[in-house]
Amino acid sequence: MPPEENKDSRARVDTDAIQSLNEELTASNEELQASNEELIAMQGQLEASLEVISDRERQINAMVESAPFPIAVYIGREMRIAQANKAVIQVWGKGDNVIGKTYSELLPELEEQNIYAQLHAVYDSGIPFHIRNQQVNIVVDGKLTEFYFNYSFTPLLNKSGSVYGIMNTAADVTDLFLAKKQMEYSEQNFRNMIMQAPVAMCLLKGPDFIVELVNTPMVEIWGKPLEEVENKPVFDALPDAREQGLESVMSNVYHTGKTYFANEQPVSLIRHGKPEIVYQNFVYQAYRDTNGSIEGVLAISVDVSEQVLSRLELQKTYEQIQLSKEAAQLGTFDMDLLKGTMEWDNRCRTLFGISHKDVVTYEKDFLGGLHPEDRQRAATIIDSLFASSTGDKDYDIEYRTIGAEDGKTRWVRAKGKVYFAGQLPIRFIGMVLDISVQKENELRLAELAEKQARLAAIVNSSDDIIISKTLDGIITSWNPAAERTFGYREQEAVGRHISMIIPRDRLSEEDYIISQIRNGKKVDHFDTIRVGKNGQELQLSLTISPVIDDNGKIIGASKIGRDISAKLAAEQTAKKYTERLEIMNMIMGTISAELDLNKILQKVTDATTNLTGAKFGAFFYNKTDEQGESYMLFTLSGAPREAFEKFGMPRNTAVFHPTFSGQSVLRSDDITKDSRYGQNAPHFGMPKGHLPVVSYLAVPVVSRSGQVIGGLFFGHPQPGKFTEEHEILVSSIAAQAAISLDNAKLFEQVKALNDKKDEFIGLASHELKTPLASISGYLQILGRLLKDSQHQKFLGKASLQVSKLTSLVNDLLDVSKIEAGQLKLTIAAFDLKEVINEAIELIQYGADNHTITFRTKLNHSIISGDAQRIEQVVLNLLSNAIKYSPEASLVEVELCEAEENLIVSVRDFGMGIAPEKAKHIFTRFYRIDEAIANISGLGIGLYLSHEMISRHQGKLWVESEAGNGSTFYFSLPRRTDKGGLASDA
């Protein structure tokens, strides 16, 4: 900073001058001192001489004459020069011829200078006069010359003691005086210099640094009134300065004499009552006296606060720029086109993916660092800048860099300027900025815009309602489907609140929806109702999703709605249909399970009354009894039987006619207003005491054959209670009821027939067996009467045939009982082995051609069951085995055990059974065709056996092969407990 430097150096020059001046002054002082001493010594001598002179005048005169300093003696008041030595003659400069002249004659120029008066005073008073350094102007060589003298006028006394003359002694101290004068002048100059110096200066004296001299600038720096500092120890006046170590610095100067320089020293001072920081350049310099000993310190200070502050300000500004550059992530480049060097700052390097601090070049690092697609363009632009003679073209370009080290692509914006010297480009400076994010955003925005355009197309063409809204429910978009559905134009809807399409009673839905949306949740398939512009209600299925901005913040909701009115209607119909089916199914379930006519009627009545919400319901049913006489049954619901009984059966009146004729359903919101009502005698309307019927529904019940079998009637005291829906339902139920009633009727008939059949079989068997018993009895009587063995043999054969016939009758009877579920078992523990043995014995008796063998390893074969029935099974199997193996001679019976079962097998070696036949053999009345030709049987034996074994929780099965005999097995559970076996019950 040149001005600062100048000031500084000037201050230093001044200091130098002062110093040399000081030195000079000191020298003069020394000289003066010496002269004085000399003078004093001489005066002493002179005084001595004067004493002697009175005695030895000559001696004195001679001495005076030769004295090196002026001596003259004036006699008389006229001051006639009596004596004048060479020195005084020389001083006077008026020539040697002075003796005898009066003082005033010789030195007229002194007339004006008061000296005459001095002489006269001494002469008159007798009092010596001394004066020092008195200016005396004497004309020397015709010229008035200024001298300075120390001189004395000493009265000369005669013996009487009166003054007769004056001795004048003098010392020419002109040189001395002038020197002193000079010195004083210097001192003044010094002081003046201090006082007037444009820099702050002060002179501090003594070890306490008393402020002796201080100029205005210093007072200004100190910021204290002059009187507060003057003649006071400076550090008492400025205690702040002491604390800042300046006192010790100053003491150091005072004691060592070493000058202290401070540059831009910040000193905090209370200035004008305020604490302030003052930046100072200052010098503390020892102030020496003429002897060179240190008397104090001269302080020179320049207030550089302004400069420092402005420099600091500048620095701050610079730092701020730097900071903002960093904050803006600006990088700088500076290219010296003459030297061909390029400076990149860190940021700039970062943008080119360079982390080192080494030298970078335009070719390699700049052009090389550019994205290949941008390189040529950038180079061209820069070249044209350099070529531009005007140099006013700004450089502003966007390019991509590929990081030299990280390979990362960055978008960079560069701005700069080329500086020219004449036509020559010399410098290219500028800044670079990373705009990757903006660029990406731009690209994304472009992409987004395209996406949005696509989306808009979809939204516009969608058949679904697509609406968006803010979280406050303000509609922000409204697609054509929304326009069509709600009837509001987009312009009408956007900006309005969504509640305009929400029915009043559903406003709370919006709260729910928005609360879901706020939580980032989607509301899916929300079936609801919304209102269109013309007030019509619309069934909608809504899906509402949160709309999320780039920051992930939920800013609104998009609503996709589908008009499901048609769908709902269909669903409603389907639901209704289903419900109807369910109701019917339920009723049908109960009534079809029911075969009791009265119960069916009651159930149908109850169900339909309930279904229609009727107050009263009745079912009138025509029945024909066995005698073919027609009568009517009825069931009631919602009213006591007495309410009807007193009126008798409904007659075929105008109101009842359509029902009892099966013509049609009659449904009336108010039957009393029907034209058919009240036309018949004797009541002409409802008889007194009749149930109060207003709403009326009557449905004929028609059987499959088309015959009207009855009617369902419903009533309600209030009008308009029965709907078409009820009519349809009741009609459907009536149709079903008709079927059930038909079935019940059929069932009654079947049951009656079945009962008859059972009765017949029972009777038949009794009637058959009674004569058999008689025949058997007579045969037994004959057996006792006939002694002839031949007779006995025939009797035996006849008895056997009777027992066969009896067993056949019994089997038939069993079948009928099984059919009727009346076969009863008598359960008791018995030994199966014994039963088998007995059966074998019985069969073997009548089977001469076959040998029946029995094999078992079991010792214990007690089981629980009906022994007689099991024997019946064994007998049946054995007789079959023999019957169907006419060629064979062996039947093998075996009893064994398998797990919890006892298994009995009967094996024959006969014709066997083909597999396709085997499955039928346990069927009632089944007979194998091939066998039927020559083997008799009713085909009930195996059927009965199978039933018997089943009733014992056992199994009966066959293993056989045509031509290879058959083995019949039956198994019986070995349990001896009662469990599971059907008993007499």
Partner 1 sequence: MPAVNKIVIFDDDDDLLGIFRFLFEDSGWEVYAFENCNDLIRKTKEIMPRLILMDNWIPPQGGIIATQMIKNDSILKEIPVIFVSANNDVKELAIKAGADAYTEKPFDFDVLNDLAILLINKPRA
Q: Which of 766, 797, 860, 919 binds partner 1 (CB under 8 A)?
A: 766
Other CB atoms closer than 10 Å to residue 695's CB: what's the count? 24
Q: What backbone torsions phi and psi does residue 831 show, to the nearest 5 degrees?
A: -95, 115
CB of 603 to partner 1, least distance (A): 37
CA 388 to chain centroid, in Å, comes to: 56
Interface segment toward partner 1; rule CB under 8 A; list 537-545, 634-642, 759-767, 924-932: 759-767
Query: 3-class secondary structure for 670-723?
Result: CHHHCCCCCCCCCCCCCCCCCCCCCEEEEEEEECCCCCEEEEEEEEECCCCCCC
List CB contacts of 434: < 8 A, sequence separation 6 or more: 329, 351, 410, 411, 412
Interface segment toward partner 1; rule CB under 8 A; list 500-508, 547-555, 567-575, 810-818: 810-818
Interface segment toward partner 1; rule CB under 8 A; list 172-180, 545-553, 674-682, 798-806: 798-806
- Closest Cα partner for 637 from 716, 579, 700? 716
Is the separation of the CB atoms in 433 and 512 below 8 Å?
no
Interface segment toward partner 1; rule CB under 8 A; list 113-121, 125-133, 683-691, 801-809: 801-809
Interface segment toward partner 1; rule CB under 8 A; list 439-447, 578-586, 729-737, 772-780: 772-780
Q: Which of 152, 169, 765, 880 binds partner 1 (CB under 8 A)?
A: 765
- Closest Cα partner for 465 from 445, 477, 481, 443? 481
**Residue in this structure with the two tokens 């200052």, named with its chain if needed:** 282
Question: Would you mind telling me the total number of residues written for the chain in this entry?
Answer: 985
The DSSP line for 50-116 is HHHHTT-HHHHHHHHHH-SS-EEEEETTTTEEEEE-HHHHHHHTS-STTTTSBHHHH-GGGGGGTHH
Q: Is 189 in the site for partner 1 (CB under 8 A)?
A: no
Is the separation of the CB atoms in 72 and 85 below 8 Å?
yes
Q: Which helix (H) or strand (E) holds 898?
A: strand 890-898
Residue closer to partner 1 by CB (options 933, 985) is 985
Distance, CA of 640 to CA of 634 (rounded, Å): 12
Distance, CA of 6 to CA of 307 (rounded, Å): 14
CB of 781 to partner 1, least distance (A): 5
Distance, CA of 520 to CA of 518 (rounded, Å): 5
Q: Is 814 in the site for partner 1 (CB under 8 A)?
A: yes
Interface segment toward partner 1; rule CB under 8 A; list 264-272, 511-519, 708-716, 769-777: 769-777
Residue closer to partner 1 by CB (options 781, 982) is 781
Distance, CA of 771 to CA of 766 (rounded, Å): 9
Q: Is 774 in the site for partner 1 (CB under 8 A)?
A: yes
- Closest Cα partner for 863 from 790, 952, 775, 923? 952
CB of 865 to partner 1, least distance (A): 15
Q: Which of residues 626-655 bind partner 1 (CB under 8 A)?
A: none
Q: Is 803 in the site for partner 1 (CB under 8 A)?
A: yes
CB of 954 to partner 1, least distance (A): 22
CB of 818 to partner 1, least distance (A): 12
CB of 631 to partner 1, least distance (A): 35
Q: Which of residues 776-795 bind partner 1 (CB under 8 A)?
A: 776-778, 780-781, 784
| Alpha carbon separation from 130 to 109, 110, 134, 174 (Å, rounded) | 20, 17, 10, 16
Query: 3-class secondary structure for 817-871?
Result: HHHCCCCCCCCEEEEHHHHHHHHHHHHHHHCCCCEEEEEECCCCCEEEECHHHHH
Distance, CA of 805 to CA of 769 (rounded, Å): 9
Q: Is 797 in the site for partner 1 (CB under 8 A)?
A: no
Interface segment toward partner 1; rule CB under 8 A; list 196-204, 269-277, 812-820, 949-957: 812-820
Interface segment toward partner 1; rule CB under 8 A; list 195-203, 221-229, 302-310, 773-781: 773-781
Q: How many CA atoms lie within 13 A of 862 on its CB side?
A: 6
Binding mask 816-845 for partner 1 (x = CB under 8 A): -x------x-x-------------------
Q: Which of 678, 762, 937, 939 binds partner 1 (CB under 8 A)?
A: 762
DSSP symbol at 628: S
CB of 758 to partner 1, least distance (A): 12
Q: Which of 53, 183, 699, 802 binds partner 1 (CB under 8 A)?
A: 802
Q: Which of 81, 199, 370, 813 binds partner 1 (CB under 8 A)?
A: 813
Q: Is 807 in the site for partner 1 (CB under 8 A)?
A: no
CB of 681 to partner 1, least distance (A): 57
DSSP symbol at 367: I
CA 615 to chain centroid, in Å, comes to: 62
Longest Cα–Cα distance of the chain, Å, equals: 250
Q: What backbone torsions phi and psi does residue 524 show, to the nearest 5 degrees?
A: -110, 135
Beta-bridged to residue 852, according to DSSP, are 891
Residue closer to partner 1 by CB (options 311, 817) is 817
Q: Is the peptide bond before 682 cis (omega within 30 degrees of 0)?
A: yes
CB of 861 to partner 1, least distance (A): 24
Residue closer to partner 1 by CB (options 746, 829) is 829
CB of 846 to partner 1, least distance (A): 16
CB of 824 to partner 1, least distance (A): 6
Interface segment toward partner 1; rule CB under 8 A; list 137-145, 710-718, 768-776, 845-853: 768-776
Residue closer to partner 1 by CB (options 90, 803) is 803
Residue closer to partner 1 by CB (options 775, 962) is 775
User: SS3 for 609?
Assistant: helix
CB of 640 to partner 1, least distance (A): 43
Is the separation of the CB atoms in 477 and 452 below 8 Å?
no
Q: Which amino acid is at 530?
A: R
CB of 770 to partner 1, least distance (A): 5
Interface segment toward partner 1; rule CB under 8 A; list 273-281, 284-292, 633-641, 813-821: 813-821
Distance, CA of 856 to CA of 897 (rounded, Å): 9
CB of 768 to partner 1, least distance (A): 8
**Residue in this structure with the two tokens 């797990």, named with its chain if needed:** 899
Q: Which amino acid is at 704?
A: R
Beta-bridged to residue 467, according to DSSP, are 478, 559
Binding mask 406-435 for partner 1 (x = CB under 8 A): ------------------------------
Q: Which of 810, 837, 844, 901 binds partner 1 (CB under 8 A)?
A: 810
Residue closer to partner 1 by CB (options 197, 772) is 772
CB of 767 to partner 1, least distance (A): 8
Q: Is 769 in the site for partner 1 (CB under 8 A)?
A: yes
Residue closer to partner 1 by CB (options 456, 781) is 781
Interface segment toward partner 1; rule CB under 8 A; list 209-217, 226-234, 328-336, 761-769: 761-769
Interface segment toward partner 1; rule CB under 8 A; list 264-272, 735-743, 803-811, 929-937: 803-811
Distance, CA of 366 to CA of 360 (rounded, Å): 8
Site for partner 1 (CB under 8 A): how many residues? 27
Residue closer to partner 1 by CB (options 8, 866) is 866
Residue closer to partner 1 by CB (options 135, 803) is 803
DSSP symbol at 364: I
CB of 792 to partner 1, least distance (A): 14
Residues that bind partner 1 (CB under 8 A): 762, 765-770, 772-778, 780-781, 784, 802-803, 806, 810, 813-814, 817, 824, 826, 984
